[in-house]
Amino acid sequence: MNVRPYEQSDLDGVRKIHAQQNFPYAFPDLRNPLFLTKILLTDGEGPHEKILGAALLRLTAEAYLLLDPKAGTPKQRWQSLLTLHEAARRDAWQRGLEDVHAWLPPAIAKKFGRRIERLGWQRDDAWTPYCKRLS
């Protein structure tokens, strides 16, 4: 087996594997610069190699909100959150990001989750998240 960088000429082979997996998501646009890692696993090297798999890593963002819980009234804190939310949304969009993720602590998830849903956030339980810590 061999691992090598993805090349545009590999597109059909990678598309075929995606189709065979029959997962309910569209094939990603691999020309998108947010795909920082595009590597292939092949059965060898050279013109007759077969693509066995691909690892594709797309840049996303994790949101952290740090807001003084004692500053102002609840209404003023909500206004502060709205101001920060819009500024961060614009900044992320201008940097080319396509999505932002937030993991809410269990103690605030229900109440705060309803609030951010009003801002367009969606709870996503359709897929089970996993994390790999790199060290």
Q: Which two tokens stand for residue 4?
A: 């090598």
Domain locations in the chain as residue ranges: 2-58, 61-117
Backbone angles phi, psi at 33, to 5 degrees: -65, -10
The pTM of the full predicted model, rounded to 2 decimals, is 0.81
Q: pLDDT tens per residue, the chain (135 residues)? A: 999 999 999 999 999 999 999 999 999 999 999 999 999 999 999 889 999 999 999 999 999 999 999 999 999 999 999 999 999 999 999 999 999 999 999 999 999 999 999 999 999 888 888 999 999
pLDDT at residue 27, rounded to an integer = 97
Q: Which two tokens stand for residue 133?
A: 């810590």
pLDDT at residue 113, rounded to an integer = 95
DSSP per-residue codes, 49-88: --EEEEEEEE--EE------TTSS-HHHHHHHHHHHHHHH
pLDDT at residue 126, rounded to an integer = 84
